[in-house]
Amino acid sequence: MNRTHRRLFAFVTVLLLAAAASAQAHHPLTAHITLSRELGDRAVSGRAILALSPKAPRGPALDPGQVFSGPDVVWIAAQEVAHLAPGASEDISGDQLAFPAALSTAPAGHWWAMLLLDVDHNAAYHFFSPGDLRSDVVELKDFDPASGKPLDLTLSHRVPEPPQAKLPDNAERLDFVSPSLSAFWGRPIHMRGVVVLPPKYAGGTTRYPAVYWTHGFGGDLSSIEHGVAPTYSQLMTSGKVPPMIYVLLDES
C-alpha cells in the first residue's frame, strides 16, 4: 500500500468512526412543564421531580414506591423550580441530576412519565404529600429518551389533605415553628405531632415525666394520629405502660 492509499484509508476510517459516533450520539432529555391555571392564581416553588418507568402505574399516579424493584425500573431526575406562575412554563433537565443515570441514556421503548412538584421537599420520605402538585401520567409508546424530543407535562393535580383522624380523649395535637430548624433551612419549619396524656390528667396536680418519641423512615403525622397515639392511649389506660406524657413528634 503506497502513501496515497494509506492516506485515503485513514481518511475513510476517520469518516466511518465519525459516522458511528454520530449515530450513537444522544441529546439531553428536556421536560417542558406548565402550571395549570386551574390550580389557583399563585406562583409555586419546589423541587420538580420527573419520573420515568417502563412499568404501568397501579393507579392514577406514578408512585416509585409501588413500582420500584431495581435501579432500572424507575428513572428520576430533579431540578428546583422557583415562582412558576399559573399558565407559565419552564424547561427542566432530565440529565443534570438524575438516577440511576441521565434520563437520555435510558433505552428506547414503552414508557410512562409523570412530573411531581415537591413543594415541601420531603419526597425522600413520602413521594406524595398534601399540597404537592403532579401531572397526569403520560403513556409514551416507542419513546426514545435520546431523541431530543421534549416531554410536555402539565401540573394539574394537587395532593389533598388526608381525612383527619379522631384522636383519643386524652390526646392533643401540637404544631409549632422550630426556631432552630427554621434558622438552619431559611424557611419556617413546623414541628407537628400528638401529645398523649395520662388518664385523668386534666384538672389534676400530679406531675409526670415526659417521653419524646419520633418515627423512623417512612413514618409521618398520619401514622402517628391513626396508629401510634391510639396505641399509647390504650396501653396507658390498660396499665401496660406507666402513666407518662408521651410527646409523639413527626420528623418528616
The closest of 103, 110, 99 to 150, measured between CA atoms, is 103
Please report the pLDDT score of residue 137 as a whole number.
Answer: 96
The residues, any chain, with a CB within 8 Å of residue 22's CB and separated by 6 or more, are none
Answer whether 58's CB lies under 8 Å from 40's CB.
no
**pLDDT at residue 152 above 70?**
yes
Q: Residue range 209-219: average pLDDT?
A: 87
Q: What is the pLDDT of residue 23?
A: 43
Average pLDDT, the chain: 87
**Is the confidence at residue 13, as pLDDT, over 90?**
no
Residue 12 has pLDDT above 50, yes or no: no
Percent of the chain at pLDDT above 70?
86
Judge contact between 66 and 58, C-beta under 8 A: yes
Q: How far is CA 92 from CA 43, 138, 153, 232, in A?
A: 17, 17, 11, 46
d(CA 53, CA 109): 10
Give me the sheet containing 245-250, strands edge to edge: 171-177, 190-196, 245-250, 210-214
Q: What is the mean pLDDT of residues 127-144?
A: 94
pLDDT digit string, tens, across residues 103-132: 999 999 999 999 999 998 988 878 898 999
pLDDT tier at 68 (50, 70, 90 boundaries)? low
- Stronger pLDDT, 16 or 204, i.e. the higher one: 204
Query: In the prediction, which pLDDT does 25 show?
Result: 57
pTM: 0.70
User: What's 162's DSSP letter?
Assistant: P
- Better-predicted residue by pLDDT, 14 or 147: 147
Kindly report the backbone phi and psi dihedral angles of residue 5, in degrees, each rounded to the nearest multiple of 5, phi listed first. -65, -40
Three-class secondary structure of residue 10 per DSSP = helix
* Cα–Cα distance, 99 to 46 (Å, whole number): 19
